[in-house]
Each structure stands twice: as structure tokens, then as C-alpha cells.
A and B are shown apart, each in its own frame.
Chain A
Amino acid sequence: MISLVLDVIGGALLLIGLLLLTIGILGVLRLPDTLSQLHAQGIATGPGVIAIFASSVATENAVIITFAVLGIAFVAFTSPVSGHAIARAAHHRGNQSETQNNWNTFDE
């Protein structure tokens, strides 16, 4: 019984994770400039990987779940930091794209 429930929860989390990864890739493929692409990439690198790690509950293996929790903690810490570093570099270099987005009006 509990195994079935864990299977369903793990499958749903896996589906959510794959969906978020797909949305992130499509966003990076379609969006025009660096900061917009960073917005789409943050969806894949943060919540997408966390959902895929969290789907390890369906394996019912203590070693796998422990390392998945470690991975979740690590990704939740590092994904915003790397996104912030890329955004600061993009803001500093200026926006060379031909779109109407005028990001450089923001102060740092």
C-alpha cells in the first residue's frame, strides 16, 4: 500500500521535473537576450533538478534518498547564486541585443 503511494508520488514528481526541464530548454532556445534566457534557465536548474532528486522517494532505498536530499540542499543553495553571478555579469557588460527591453535603466 505505502509502496504504491510512494510510486505515485515519485512518478508525479518525476513528471513535474521533466516538464520543468523541457520548459527551461524551450525558453533558452526561444528567448532573445541573455537576461531573458537566464529567467528560463533558472526554472530548469532550480525546481526542475529538485523535483527529479525528490522523485527518489519511489526507490525506497535509504542510500539513494540520503544522497538525493544532499543534492536537493546543494542545488537549492547553488542555483540562485550562479544565476545571480551570470545576471551581474550580463548587467555589467550591457545589453547588446536588438530587442526593446531596456534593462540598463536599472541601477546595480
Chain B
Amino acid sequence: MSTVVIVPALVWVTLLLVAGGMTLIRARDVLQRVVALDLLAVLVIALLALLSYARNVGYYLDAAVALSLLSFVATVAAARHLRSGGPFS
């Protein structure tokens, strides 16, 4: 894929990452923070995929898939933990 397309996309996703940090700061509830963190992980996955396209190298997508697995497990664990009301109840 040509650099003319990839570099503006990388810049735009980086700006979106800043906006995602703002959502994390503005969150008022614990679950809103979980939502914002899931969104930030998704943005980093998109950045890794775009970097893989830009350098025409496959192994950044390994990291993207692994990060997606990690973010899924973290989100489900946090949601189930919050649903049960904590580890001691």
C-alpha cells in the first residue's frame, strides 16, 4: 500500500489515541473506564496493523492479534469482577 495513504492514516489514529485518553480521563464510573480502556486497546491494534502495512512486514500483525486477545481477556475479567461486586463477596 502506498505511503501517501498510510502516513495520514497513522497520524489520524495517533490523534484518535489522544482523544481516547481524554475519554479515559472524563469517565465518571468504573465501567466507563473499562469501556475507554477497551477502546484504547482497539486503537493500538489499528496502529500496529497500519504499521505492518506501511513497512510491508508481517510480524506486527502477530502483536496486533496477541494484543486483541489480551484486551478481550482483560475486559471480560474486569466486567465479571465488577458484576460479582469484588473478590470477597
Of B12, B26, B56, B61, which is within 8 A of A67 by CB? B61
Chain A hits for B56, CB < 8 A = 59, 61, 64
Chain A hits for B57, CB < 8 A = 64
Asked if B34 contacts A86 (CB within 8 A), the reply is yes
- Count how many chain B residues have C-beta atoms less than 8 Å from C-beta atoms of the other chain: 45
Taking CB as reference atom, which chain B residue is nearest A17? B46
Instruction: Give chain B nearest CB distance to A33 CB in angstroms.
Output: 8
Q: Mark A32-64, 1 if CB is under 8 A from B, else 0.
A: 001001100100110011001101101101011
Asked if B16 contacts A38 (CB within 8 A), the reply is no
Of A48, A63, A70, A86, which is within 8 A of B79 by CB? A86
* Interface SS of chain B: helix
Asked if A64 contacts B58 (CB within 8 A), the reply is yes
* Of B35, B56, B65, B72, most A-chain CB atoms within 10 Å: B35
Whether B3 is near chain A, meaning CB under 8 Å from some CB there, is no
Asked if A85 contacts B43 (CB within 8 A), the reply is no
Instruction: Give chain B nearest CB distance to A57 CB in angstroms.
Output: 9
Interface residues of A (CB under 8 A from B): 7, 10-11, 14, 17-18, 21-22, 24-25, 28-29, 34, 37-38, 41, 44-45, 48-49, 52-53, 55-56, 58-59, 61, 63-64, 66-68, 70-71, 74-75, 78, 81-82, 85-86, 88-90, 92-93, 96
